[in-house]
Amino acid sequence: MRIYDIIEKKRDGYKLTKEEIDFFVQEYTKENVEDYQASALLMAIFINGMDEEETVNLTESMAKSGDMLDLSAIDGITADKHSTGGVGDKTSLVVAPICASLGIKMAKMSGRGLGHTGGTIDKLESIEGFNVTLDTDDFFKQVNEIGISIIGQTGNLAPADKKIYALRDVTATVGNISLIASSIMSKKIAAGAQNIVLDVKCGSGAFMKDEQSATELAEMMVKIGKKCGRNIAAVITNMDIPLGSNVGNALEIKEVIDILNNKGDKQLRELCLVLSATILSISYDWTYEEAYKKAEQTISDGSAYKKFIEFVNAQGGNSDFTTLPVAKKSLEIKAVKDGYIQSIDSRIVGESAVLLGAGREKKTDTIDYSTGIVLYKKTCDRVSVGDTIAILYAETDERLKNGEKLFNTSYVIGEEMPEILPLIYKTIR
């Protein structure tokens, strides 16, 4: 078998066999296929597409390119939740303790932030002493004992996806449904959980900009999960507006604490409950309504917050959250006219947070955990001249100035109240 023939076949619009897909993935991972050849095949896939069977085969092949995590050492029902990326999205840190406090084993591997989207691991590392690099035995032991552990992704989990994604990123072949779906699902399948819930973001701060494309991606990932023997559901959610009020690592931990203490942003709380109820209802023999009530109860009675504290302590973190880092400098953004916030562009808010120091433009960049943005007004809110729209936090005046300049382009004030968009568009099971 030759990579040349596989490229030619897909270039001409024909379907690739499982054997041909396996050959490409295995040989490219071993560096026996050149980047220029892989780029040619990816462009042919991007232009001509893949059908469902090809996409499932690509997913399974990438999942099996490295370690396949065997969770049989964990006693009980395992579940995982994945977000396609958003601004202010700290839901995993609320959903995991809710589900763990109800008996689900949340053995979760998460990533770091890159570009305008934040990463769960970066948020956790803003907690003094928190360790995100447990070995496999300690990871399993902690999940068995307290029901939850969140660590960084291992270096050999779906290595083919890592190589292929890096190439897609520089060859304009990212935006293909089959390539996106197989990239996400290969890591979820390799991570081993039996029950998976996907939070598929839709809007200005997400990769999928409209409901139709988000639905297409969600449906494809659910089909892949089912073909790979998983219980799976996808919730399509709004990312036209930043999620919650806080954007930035330590700031988002503070918001997690508020939500788990039955305070804070109502939309963030609602999304966390919806995602938790979806996990619980596909994992147990519960109706969605029963699962939602049980999830809500864990916040009301404090059991989810207690589980979060237990989780932080187990991984070496300081649960005296007064030690969370605080930026030296801040700047208030004030309304310059009366009216309604017509829109806040989530992507620009996320990019502003990166300029303040809260994110990475390159993988090698260092994050300042203390920096970020607190939003006091969001889309549909009424403002008067002088009202605080947001406060920006940074360590230097230069970063504040750069962040302010970009943030001021993220929102529009107008006379009419805009249409209120839904938080949840649909759930696909």
Residue 277 lies in a domain: yes
Write out the chain's pLDDT in tens, 429 residues: 999 999 999 999 999 999 999 999 999 999 999 999 999 999 999 999 999 999 999 999 999 999 898 899 999 999 999 998 889 999 999 999 999 999 999 999 887 766 677 789 999 999 999 999 999 899 999 999 999 999 987 768 889 998 998 899 889 998 899 999 999 999 999 999 999 999 999 998 887 889 999 999 999 999 999 999 999 999 999 999 999 999 999 999 999 999 999 999 999 999 999 999 999 999 998 999 999 999 999 999 999 999 999 999 999 999 999 999 999 999 999 999 999 999 999 999 999 999 999 987 776 778 899 999 999 999 999 999 999 999 999 999 999 999 999 999 999 999 999 999 899 999 998
Domain that holds residue 362: 326-414
Residue 43 lies in a domain: yes
CB 153 within 8 A of CB 185: no
Which of 289, 314, 339 terminates a domain? The answer is 314
Same-domain pairing of 354 and 247: no
3-state SS class at 246: strand
Compute φ and ψ for 71, nearest 5 degrees. -95, 15
Residue 221 lies in a domain: yes
Predicted local confidence at residue 115, as pLDDT: 64
Same-domain pairing of 304 and 372: no
Total-model pTM? 0.92
Instruction: Give the DSSP per-residue string, 339-393.
Output: EEEEEE-HHHHHHHHHHHTSS-SSTTPPP-TT-EEEES--TT-EE-TT-EEEEEE
What's the one-letter identity of residue 22? Answer: D
Total structural domains within the chain:
3
The closest alpha carbon to 351, from 389, 295, 407, belongs to: 407
Predicted local confidence at residue 398, as pLDDT: 96
The closest alpha carbon to 304, from 104, 132, 112, 142, belongs to: 104
CA atoms of 371 and 360, how far apart (whole Å): 12
The closest alpha carbon to 338, from 375, 409, 392, 387, belongs to: 387
Q: Hey, what are 250's tokens?
A: 């330590």
Same-domain pairing of 28 and 175: no
Same-domain pairing of 87 and 116: yes
Residue 296 lies in a domain: yes
CATH number at residue 331: 3.90.1170.30
CA atoms of 105 and 75, how far apart (whole Å): 8
Same-domain pairing of 197 and 292: yes
CA atoms of 32 and 346, how far apart (whole Å): 41
Same-domain pairing of 286 and 353: no
Same-domain pairing of 398 and 268: no
Compute φ and ψ for 366, nearest 5 degrees. -95, 135
Using left for φ > 0, alpha for ψ between -120 and 50, and beta otherwise, residue 357 falls in left
Residue 303 lies in a domain: yes
Q: Tell me the per-residue pLDDT of 327-347, one tens digit each, with 9 for 90 and over.
A: 999 999 999 999 999 999 999
Rounded to 10 deg, the angle between the 18-29 and 159-170 helix axes is 90
Which residue reads 């084993």 in tokens? 105
- Supply the residues annotated as catalytic: 82, 161, 168, 183, 187
Same-domain pairing of 205 and 335: no
Sequence-distant (6+) residues with CB within 8 A of 302 are 261
Q: Which strands sit side by side in the sheet containing 195-202, from one edge to the other?
A: 148-152, 105-110, 78-83, 195-202, 231-238, 424-428
Residue 58 lies in a domain: no
Sequence-distant (6+) residues with CB within 8 A of 133 are 151, 152
End-to-end, the C-alpha distance of the chain in Å comes to 38
CA angle centred on 183, ends 179 and 184, rounded to 5°: 125
Residue 264 lies in a domain: yes
